[in-house]
Amino acid sequence: MNQGNVIVTRDKTRIFYNDWGQGQPVVFSHGWPLNGDAFEDQMLFLASRGYRVIAHDRRGHGRSSQPGFGNDMDHYADDLAALTEALNLKDAVHVGHSTGGGEVARYIGRHGTKRVAKAVLIGAVTPIMAKTDWNPAGVPLSVFDGIRAGVQANRAQFYKDLTLPFYGYNRPGAKVSEAVRDTFWLQGMTGSILAQYECIKAFSETDLREDLKRMTVPTLIIHGDDDQIVPLETTGREAAKLAPRSKLEIVAGAPHGLCTTHKDRINELLLAFLQA
């Protein structure tokens, strides 16, 4: 059901979205713990160049409702499918950053490519972040336990501190924007602590290998080589080996929050990929 800038899913969750412009639809799936506004630089850029840009707030995040259930990758993918169906999107390009990259992969894995023309994974958690038997170089689960502890103990302070490695502001000579840090904090704090807490398991432990194999549309994988949050070597490089029609674009010196810090380069890459 579509009610203005909100759709209502089968389990009665209200998903907020922004929908600007005309033309081929480009659908954005944001990272944790943010909301759709994390892509505002890309949306403004593409909307002014003849594209229809759509970004939703994941369930439990931003302006969407905060159910006490469904905070997992399958529900995220089904919510995205519900949005594309409610808006009757066709020939869409799906762009996912971080957790949103996992959401895009699982959406295609579960719902196919009928409505999808292309896909873009930016600093994505695919195929998996956590260390496992088959991913021995992954991030130890103790790291994610630490994130959970930080969210539970003092979410507000944890999110403010997280902005430093997220945007590479902890690197020598980095030009720090306190306004960007404040914006991250504001977006994070609008979400549900329960949803964000449970999302940690979703973005770190979900096995997305088979989903990547089903991404048979042209897929651009963008990753910064100074990503301190989602390591390039075990995510971006590995995802590029699994997605059949993928191209890996490494952005030199870029941190995890590269859609903000390197927005001009990201916009340039997206536009070229859309026009190709």
Place of tokens 């808006």: 87
Instruction: Using pLDDT thresholds of 50, 70 and 90, give the confidence band for residue 4.
Output: low
Q: Is the pTM of this model over 0.75?
A: yes
Q: pLDDT tens digits, residue range 62-76? A: 999 999 999 999 999
Q: pLDDT tens digits, residue range 111-158? A: 999 999 999 999 999 999 999 999 999 999 999 999 999 999 999 999
Q: What is the pLDDT of residue 147?
A: 98
Residues recognised as catalytic:
98, 227, 256
Q: What is the pLDDT of residue 3?
A: 64
8 Å CB contact between 214 and 246: no
Beta bridge partners of 26: 53, 93
CB-based contacts of 95: which residues, under 8 Å, 6+ apart? 26, 27, 28, 29, 39, 42, 104, 119, 120, 122, 270
Would you state the structure tokens that stand for residue 126, as one six-digit string? 């695919």
Q: pLDDT tens digits, residue range 21-71? A: 999 999 999 999 999 999 999 999 999 999 999 999 999 999 999 999 999
Domain spans of the chain?
A: 2-275
Place of tokens 């195929």: 127
Q: pLDDT tens digits, residue range 181-198? A: 999 999 999 999 999 999
Q: What is the pLDDT of residue 187?
A: 98
8 Å CB contact between 239 and 221: yes
Spatial distance between the Cα atoms of 53 and 216, rounded to a whole number of angstroms: 23
Superfamily covering domain 2-275: Alpha/Beta hydrolase fold, catalytic domain (3.40.50.1820)
Spatial distance between the Cα atoms of 67 and 13, rounded to a whole number of angstroms: 7
Q: Which of 20, 67, 62 is nearest to 38 (CA)?
A: 62
Average pLDDT, the chain: 97
8 Å CB contact between 66 and 190: no
